[in-house]
Structure 1
Amino acid sequence: LYHRTPREFDAASGALMEVATRLVRLAVERARAEDALRESEGRFRELAENIQDVFYSYDPRTRRMLYVSPAYESLWGRSCASLLEDASSFVAAVHPDDRERVESQRAAGGMQLSDIQYRVTRPDGSVRWVQDHSYPVPGPHGEIERVVGTARDITPRKQADLDLMHTNRALQMLSRGNEALVRAEDEQELLLEICRLAVNVGGYEMAWVGYALDDEERTIQPQAWAGNEMGYLAEVTLTWAEDDPRGQGPAGRTIRSGHVVVNEDILTESAGFHWRAQAGDAVGQVGRELLQQLHFFPARLGHHRREQRQQPEVALHDGQRNFGLLALFSAVVAKTRWEEVKLLQELSANLAYGISS
């Protein structure tokens, strides 16, 4: 402290010095805290913007998204700006089958820790699995100030689990099918049991076996089926004739080629599924879902032929020619699982052997 004239350092001057020192100390500490906060925020943004997990911060009181990291754009397929503008778009992108669970969690206002899995449908129609972990951040008076969380893409893990499940089912089908070959007392019983196994053990929505006749129209005649057939087979006329438009579908191609034919979505025009409109009319909306996938497995024998839908279809073969097929329908569109297909091919080969024997 400076004075214009000399004077003794008194108690008032001491108190003034103490106050000034305290203010300076507070100002320095605040400046240091602000620097540390800026540095911490910089490190956080550097981390959040360079990893694949999505970081987000949400205000449950105003239902406003406070922050979301750039990884949101690659996982959700939507811009961060669109989410910051409309927080409800976060849930709107969730798969309809999972949306209720996610909405319930958000409606709780983040009052507790949350760790859920759900699917996100991106604008291009692709679906990704998300693991979402969030927790509440209380304010100074104990109220929930915001909810922060991370969302991780776990699609590869879920797909691996799904592939393993389907392979195990196919193995069980193969094992149970071999048992049926031994126990069946006649051909029709064997065909019905294989179809039932495809539905009850393999998890397919519908399975059927057809024989390829040598009549003038080269008809494919259904012999046995199981699952949600809903009158579909009675509504269509299948053929393996190459010069007939009805024979250009997966069933006809399976019979003619003897190869497995897999249609990942038979409702697309490129699938060549001639009867997709009739099948939709016959079985309604549920049936349209069942028609999403079909596998046709060729079977070979001396006198006949056969088929089915996901579609895989496998031909039945007796060593001379394809005489029929095994067709399997799945309710969902999915990428082909070739390990599963190989096991189903083995099942169809055993079935063809059982019939020819």
Structure 2
Amino acid sequence: MDGAVRTLYVHDVDDAAAVPPGALSESDELVVETTHSVQEGLDRLSRDTFDCVLSTYELPDENGVTFLRHVRDFDSELPFVLHPSSGTERVASEAISADVTEYVADDFDKAADKCRQLVDHIVEAATSTPNDIEAKVRELTEATDDVLWLLSADWEEVLFVNSTYADLWGHSERALRDDPTSFVEAVHPDDRPRAEAAMDSLVDGESVDIELQVDPEEEFRRRVSVHAEPIFDRDGSVVRIAGVSRDVTEERARQRRLEEEKRTVDSIFDALPDVLYTFDAEGYPLRWNEQLEAETGYDADELEEMYVTEFVPDDETETIAESFRAVVEDGRTVTVESALERADGERVPFEFTGAPLRDADGNLRGLTGVGRNISEQRAQQRRFEAVFDNTYQSTGLLSPDGTLLEVNRTAAEFASRDREDLIGEKFWDASWFRTDETAHPIAMEAVETARNGEFFRDQLTIQAGDREAVIDLSMRPVTDEHGEVDLLVAEGRDVTRLFQREQQLRVTNRFLRHNIRNKLNTITGHAKLAAEHDDRRLRPAVDTIVEAADELSATAETAREIHELISEEPEPRTVDLSERLDRALATVRNRHPEAELVVQKPESLAATALPSVHEALAELLEALLEHVTTDHPAVDVEATADDDDAVVTLSTPDCRLPAAERDVLTGDIEIRQMRHARGLGVWHVYWQVWYAGGTVELTDDDVQVRLPAD
């Protein structure tokens, strides 16, 4: 060919990947004219003569292979170069079947190289002889693993088939050329009716896509995908049939494996009691198990359209949105407790876990996670807390090594510490056991005994905030399903009051045994003297008997009052201390008319005390009067309010209580100690004030009774 190659370039004007016509026109070897659709190209070819056609694959009305078939309907020799922007092996096979001259894949590194080589291919296609073109087509068809074939419309002649046919179908090329319909013999008997129906469809001008089991030598285990197209002449009659057959055996095997794996995974997903889900990076569901539909009450179509925050109530959306961003933006794994809102509006407590969802290349695609209904867990927790925290005894849960895992409210309040401060400590190192040197080893012994599967119980003194307390401590092991100890339960019951009441009763009994015995001995001895001698000398003895009897009677009465006081836990209440003081003064004035009592008090004064506090005040006044050293005893009595206390002050410069009485009143003597104080009276005063939460304070001249103000 002399001169430049006149080329019709057909491409989509909106195809940014297409080679610009101007770039091709820069070559002296080409004269380029352009059209932008299949129909425009056919119109130009019907009016003008061109040496070659260059076409892209993607065109506005049809594609480049279809355009090639139309061209071949009226010109079987016009050079045709197909240059797809993004071609595939299937496109190449279809182009070869349609008798393309050159198929130029878009695999150039540089735009300049692309344009130069494309020009070379156009020039070569336009200047090659038919034999050259046929050789190149043969070379191209033999390079593919697909079977490319071209048959006459009546299935009488094989116009073209590449050598891959025999290997793929298990049927010889010679047999096919002898009888083009004999390929059916290589098809599984079950698929032959569909193959024959496809042949009829092609003859009738219909395209065919079919998958067949082929190759009798392989027991028809090979699967072949067949795509075939009828080729029409200008009159619309089928003149040829072109097709491509591809081995999809491995592809189908992979699909079956994937489907089996998917069914297995789906069955596992749906068998789980928890909700499983995946969301894309935009926040919309990709996949979920049946449990999500059961929990939410939404069907699959509704779930598919829901955004991630639409699964929770309005007051939880921000929390869920922040957690979702933490996963898809920061790549973190998060767990959050929230609520799932069902379709009917019901809130259900849920724990949601989310982790990054990545593809095979490690790119983040979204979120995958598990949602767990924790309604029963919450209910169990509430029941546990109701029992655990609403008991008067201190309770704790320990690991077998003695570490505190949980304590109830009573135990924390007993230690005057926050619960969080106690958790994590060793049981024996907690503040309860730090003051008494015997408490620490007892606590260690309790843990060791329970850890070995035995029950432990003992009574010990511990530190309870700012006071010492006596507790009944027990430690019980809890075992798992294998019988191994995995928890220890510690219980401590405050028995301080009970312990002290027992000691108080012991003191009362000791007093009764000691004083009454002595007085009775006195009575007995003097009574014997009186019985043996009836004269004036017996008068003092008789008087002594009477006095001792009176004292014994008073002691018995005081003992009775104390017994009534401590036989049951006394309940302090609000009393008018001024009124109770008046009653005490009346009692003392009746018994001691010689005493001068100077009183200053308000009309009323509220205080927390036992209802019988007037008896204690009378006892205290009498104790002072008993030890006054003058013939005319006087006591100043004053009742006032002082900060948080109601105070009764008794003052007399002529009285000095013995040390034994002073120690009893101030609590500086242990209850179990036996000290011969005045008698039960001062103990009565001390216990009355102590049970009310008050104190007795003494100076050289004053005695103060301090009771909590109401």
What TM-score range do you get, normalising by the shorter chain? 0.3 to 0.5
Q: TM-score, normalised by structure 1?
A: 0.46
Q: Which has the larger radius of gyration?
A: 2
Comparing both chains, which one has the higher relative contact order based on Cα–Cα distances under 8 Å and sequence gaps of 6 or more? 1
**TM-score relative to the length of structure 2:** 0.26
